[in-house]
Structure 1
Amino acid sequence: MTLPGFGKIIIFTGVVLIIIGLAWNFIGKLPGDITFKKGNTTIYFPIVTSIVISIILSLIFFIIGRFR
C-alpha cells in the first residue's frame, strides 16, 4: 500500500534536516545551554537548543498537516 505524496514528504523532511544540520555546525552552542566542567568531567545540558529544535519540528509538522 503506497501513500500518495509520501515520497515528497520524505524528500522535504530530508532537505529540512540537512539545512538544520548545516546551521547547527555554524551556530554551535546557543546562549542558555548549560555546561558544567569539573576536572576531567564535562556535563552539557542543551536546554535552549532542545527548545529551538522542538519549535522547528512543531512548525514542520504543522505545515505538513496543513497540506493533507
Structure 2
Amino acid sequence: MIIGGLLFVIGFLMHFFNLGKLPGDIVFRKGNTTVYFPIVTSIIISVILSLIVYFIGKSR
C-alpha cells in the first residue's frame, strides 16, 4: 500500500506541476501514435527518492 501511495503522489505531482514535460524528455509522434520516454523526469525522481532513502537510513 505504501508503494501504491507513492506512485499516486508521484502521478499527482507529474500531472499538476508539469513534471512530465521537462527538457530532455523524448516524445515521438507519428499519426495517432505517441511514444514518450521521460528520461530527465526519471533521473530527477530517482535522485529525490535516493536522497529520501539515504536520510531515512541515516536517521536510524
Question: TM-score scaled to structure 1, two decimals?
Answer: 0.65
Shift of 1:22: 5.0
Specify every segment of 5 or more residues in structure 1 that has no aligned partner in the other structure, as ranges: 1-9
Aligned to 2:51: 59
Specify every segment of 5 or more residues in structure 2 that has no aligned partner in the other structure, as ranges: none
- Aligned CA RMSD, in angstroms, stands at 2.2
Structure with greater Cα Rg: 1
Aligned residues: 54
Which aligned segments of 4 or more residues in structure 1 are displaced greater than 2 angstroms? Answer: 20-24
SS at match of 1:31: coil
Identity %: 66
